Amino acid sequence: MATIHDVALDAQVSPTTVSRYINNRIELPASTAARIDAAIAKLDYRPNLLAKRLSTGRTEAIGLVAPEIREPFFAELASAVEDEADRHGYTIFMSSTRSDRQREIASLNRLHDRHVDGLIMMTNTPDDGTLAALIGKRRNVVVIDEDIPGVMVPRVFVENHIGAYKATRYLIEAGHERIGYIGGPDGLYTVRERRAGYLQAMKEANLKVRAEHLAGGSFMPDFARKATLEFLKTRTPPTAILASSDFIAIGVLQGLKQAEIKVPSQMSVVGFDDMPLTELFNPPLTAIRQPIEALGRQGFQVLFSLLSGKQPRCLPCCQCN
């Protein structure tokens, strides 16, 4: 089996240079990097990970906890985290919790027991303090997409308030006055922020917010479908509906189809996420675009900064507290 010394000899550099290059701790001229890459390929060199972990005290692996990997939004977000981790030489252990609190707790404990270097946490269920207390006992944890009140760790998410505000303004400027709104589970940061953005835009335009045109409690399409049908039963139904996620928008469209209401001629619909699958809708769904890939990459970069002992750096498209 080839050793790092064999690679260094073939590439005409020192073993230390090879080691630092493999671990992304040095910037080399293109010609030098090419020689090392060629030597690694020629000799079929494979680092001794066990020896490396024993010497550095690091696993070069992180844990990723996601609510539901089958949902397109979280799948795309997890993929972005994985790509960025791979670029830095990290392996990911992933756990899907199905939005169940006990599974979230079990996942955090399981990943911790495997001695990963750090954790990236995603959740879409309100916390009663249990999750925050558990995360507070962990080192090198980053929360992305959804806030968890009470955690003293870096958190990365988009400008939810501004996004919902702009979506509502878009509908108002299109001439709508009766705008319905369907949100997710109460108690979530993203839900509160998006609802606040909607309410602010309506207030600034001096438009009445009708209680019968407001619904919230779930991100599931069937919930939104039923809420939409209830909107249509009111004395003066809305002429537009703002869905606080694309999954909710899918339910809205299902309800409108069931009621034989045409989009956009009879009802305007705006979503929040702009997932690629919505391009397949006819007509395509108008939506606030979340920078999902940037969110995932930033989440890992913040964690990588923690692992490197550096101050996390924020991207302009996200919030990091």
Residues whose CB is less than 8 angstroms from the CB of residue 278 and which lie 6 or more positions away in sequence, other chains included: 246, 249, 271, 284, 285, 287
The hierarchical CATH code for the domain 57-157+293-320 is 3.40.50.2300
Total Cβ atoms within 10 A of residue 279? 9
Which pLDDT does position 58 carry in this prediction?
Answer: 58
What local confidence, expressed as pLDDT, does residue 317 receive?
42
Per-residue pLDDT of the chain (321 residues; tens, 9 = 90+): 788 888 889 999 998 898 888 777 788 898 999 999 899 888 888 766 544 554 444 568 888 999 888 888 888 899 999 999 988 888 888 888 888 888 888 888 877 666 788 889 998 888 888 888 888 888 789 999 999 888 888 999 899 999 999 999 999 999 999 999 999 998 899 999 999 999 999 999 999 999 999 999 999 999 999 999 999 999 999 999 999 999 999 999 999 999 999 999 999 999 999 988 777 788 889 999 999 999 999 999 999 998 887 766 554 444 444
Q: Per the structure block, which two tokens stand in for 11?
A: 């590439």
Beta strand extents in the chain (DSSP E only): 61-66, 91-96, 118-121, 141-144, 155-157, 179-183, 214-216, 240-243, 268-273, 286-289, 319-320
What is 160-290's CATH number?
Answer: 3.40.50.2300
Q: What phi, psi does 203 have (nearest 5°)?
A: -65, -45
Domain residue limits, the chain: 4-47, 57-157+293-320, 160-290
* Strand 155-157 versus strand 319-320 pairing type: antiparallel
Which position has the token pair 């939409």? Answer: 228
Tokens for 72?
């397109």
For residue 312, whether the previous peptide bond is cis, meaning omega lies within 30 degrees of 0, is no
- The three state secondary structure string of 100-168 is CHHHHHHHHHHHHHCCCCEEEECCCCCCCCHHHHHHCCCCCEEEECCCCCCCCCCEEECCHHHHHHHHH
- 57-157+293-320 against 160-290: fold identical: yes
Q: How far apart are CA 138 and CA 65, in angstroms?
A: 14
pLDDT tens digits along 52-61: 554 444 568 8
Q: Select from 1.10.260.40, 3.40.50.2300, 3.20.20.120, 3.30.365.10 the CATH code of 4-47.
A: 1.10.260.40
pLDDT number for residue 315: 46
